Structure 1
């Protein structure tokens, strides 16, 4: 009897400390041999574990195929919520899923990870994936009828639209009911678009409804929604896709309006801080300095000082210091006993600032071409900033070949302070400045400099 009690105790204990696993198959296999698992928390990724991707095989479409596979045992104290498995650092290199105290297993194509993912284990993820597939079908039906009517209003589509509208609501209600008491319930209730009960008469009404009701089901206080990619993806949709203008100037204005709208929906200043940082990163990929400045000046800098990441601000200020639209960072030099500063030069209408080096073969090919070309451009001056380890070769070269330029010596080469301010990591690097030293272009090579200047 005692042995049976001990065995029963051990069996019960084994269940109480059981740990769940995340297992994945990648088909076709990919070159990367590592995978990192993160838990999502706001816009941050919290490291959970990492593992290697092994060569494996799987029975797919009635035949054995080579795949990559991985398996991670989650910590005993792993929190429920949204997780991300990252298998490469650029492009579409991750898959997101939910964890709620159950094993998770899936297969996906690494080139289209989120679109192709199919779950073989996990009730939560299976149901949510099925919901997304099914709700997309019925929403597309509504949209197709609406668009068909806008293209030809003589066609009688009211009955078809009402039928599609009813089918949509039925599908949504079904999944909200099935997901009750599950982690995914909040995501399902927050996901659907709000459709008109009757067919709309104009494109403006159609798009207007989408925009005006976009946030109606989004709860920015819901911790599960916040700690996932769900809300950030919705924010990106609203700013970059739902609101669009053909004219570049109008688009900038629209960006500012949509950003203000999004941030007005967020009461938590801490979360707002992270969303602003996230958006700055998004506009960084566009090199959109105007909107980055707007985010800093009109939103980030107005947050409580303890919610402003000073290191983040410092890094971004340095990163964007020498971008188009900025006043070129100042520096000074001496020549023949006379002191000069870039900011106070006034001997031309425009300037070409070039970072180069006598030890750079590309420079020794392009700098003479630039010198020859600029001889006929009396209203444009060249400031040639040489990155050198020592002065002798530069002195001899400039004396013999670069007469008429503002020649500046920058010692310590890549570690030169001015070069670092301008984020110079290759030579030659070109900047075209206006009379006030505002950067108006950053040509890649001499032929681009020539093309830009000839169009002035």
Structure 2
């Protein structure tokens, strides 16, 4: 019996001491009262734990200040890796750190988390933070010397550049050597920039060097790098900032070329799939349909069928089905006993498709105004798609007030299939279509409709 009790105590002790704590302090305090901890795996976030955030009063610089703090216990099974503490769903709402079998404590400004984080516990994070501080200062010195010559080629700063280059190289080598047995070693090695040994006098040569050497130190087969935000951040910088043009047409070409370069570096097919999905979601924010289509057609659809996510494809297809540049999703209706379809409608040079409802006060104000205005636009026809629970009120309203329009009844209101296809979540919602039913505008309100049609 005694042996069993001792064994149990040893087991409990090993579990207790096997768990580590992550502590964070946010200054100034925030309103959010929750925090979720994730482990980063590729482009995904895997839930680890969650906790509440409390408010404390502490002395900072000799003054009392209200701060937010949290403490979260890692499970004993937690593996070394990159972790993310999320406290806000939008904007700068998370902070990343490394875990390698040690407690982690830090303080940061919740509005600028990654730029302001200071670690008070965790040798790995403190070492990496010091590396970033030293290497950034050395790189900035080198860059400022280079930029000065690019701005004024008559300056003779060759020796200054060589000295800065030697210092930067020395710092990189020192940290690479010191980090050999540390978790952060791959990040330190991958952070090394390939700077030219001699100062350049041409902006073109400078930019070409950055692009041509950008991936030299990035190892897309290294699992430690893959399972962090490091590579995805580098990919974003390359696609959106390193390859940049103010000319929109040229920018699209640069985006495609950058994507080709990035994907050519990735040999692991599941990871390549994840990066393609990640890039699609990045371009989703800007509604860049050309690049999204390119990513699907040129890369995602060419992955093996077992790797493709059918649900992901359908969701994105539905999300962008009714965006500007797309052919408007088709639907049909009966009008005066005759079956009509949007795709075959051919009685105007352009169309205003408006989703509205007789139960919507904004619609009852804007629809009559639209009706009056459209009399000044003889080449444009209105398709009024009414989202209703039943036909009674709509039938009387459209017969008496909307003569000459194409009036469509959509039952089930927000659950109406066509409304969902067009991503209509409020009424009135406007779409302007050309003769071929291509969506050429999505005005916000009646004034935007007028403004667009008056200009066109």
Length-normalised TM-score, structure 1 = 0.97
Shift of 1:272: 0.4
Shift of 1:192: 2.0
The answer to whether 1:14 aligns with 2:3 is: no
Aligned to 1:356: 356
Shift of 1:59: 2.8
Aligned to 1:417: 417
The answer to whether 1:202 aligns with 2:202 is: yes
Aligned to 2:325: 325
Superposition misfits of 4+ residues, deviation over 4 angstroms: 6-13
Contact 2:32 2:88 in 1 (8 A): yes
| C-alpha distance in structure 1 between counterparts of 2:335 and 2:74, whole Å | 66
| C-alpha distance in structure 1 between counterparts of 2:385 and 2:299, whole Å | 37
SS in structure 2 at match of 1:40: strand
The answer to whether 1:371 aligns with 2:381 is: no
| C-alpha distance in structure 1 between counterparts of 2:302 and 2:258, whole Å | 18
Shift of 1:63: 2.7
Structure 2 counterparts to residues 48-127 of structure 1, below 5 A: 48-127=48-127
Shift of 1:10: 6.4
| C-alpha distance in structure 2 between counterparts of 1:351 and 1:384, whole Å | 10
Kindly provide the CA deviation profile for residues 298-338 of structure 1, in whole angstroms up to 9, marking residues without a partner as x: 10000001100111111111111101111100000111111
Contact 2:384 2:407 in 1 (8 A): yes
Structure 2 counterparts to residues 427-446 of structure 1, below 5 A: 427-446=427-446
Aligned to 2:244: 244
Kindly provide the CA deviation profile for residues 340-379 of structure 1, in whole angstroms up to 9, marking residues without a partner as x: 0000001111111000011111111111111111112111
- Alpha-carbon distance change, 12 to 314 in structure 1, aligned in 2, over 3 angstroms: closer
Aligned to 1:164: 164
Deviates more, 1:174-183 or 1:105-114: 174-183
Aligned to 1:343: 343
| C-alpha distance in structure 1 between counterparts of 2:60 and 2:186, whole Å | 33
Aligned to 1:407: 407
Length-normalised TM-score, structure 2 = 0.97
Shift of 1:57: 2.6
Shift of 1:60: 1.8
SS in structure 2 at match of 1:306: coil
- Alpha-carbon distance change, 81 to 62 in structure 1, aligned in 2, over 3 angstroms: same
How many pairs does the alignment contain? 452
Shift of 1:9: 11
Aligned to 1:290: 290
| C-alpha distance in structure 2 between counterparts of 1:15 and 1:105, whole Å | 22
SS in structure 1 at match of 2:354: strand
Contact 2:15 2:76 in 1 (8 A): no
The answer to whether 1:186 aligns with 2:186 is: yes
Structure 2: 5+ residue stretches without partners: none
Shift of 1:386: 0.4
Shift of 1:197: 0.4
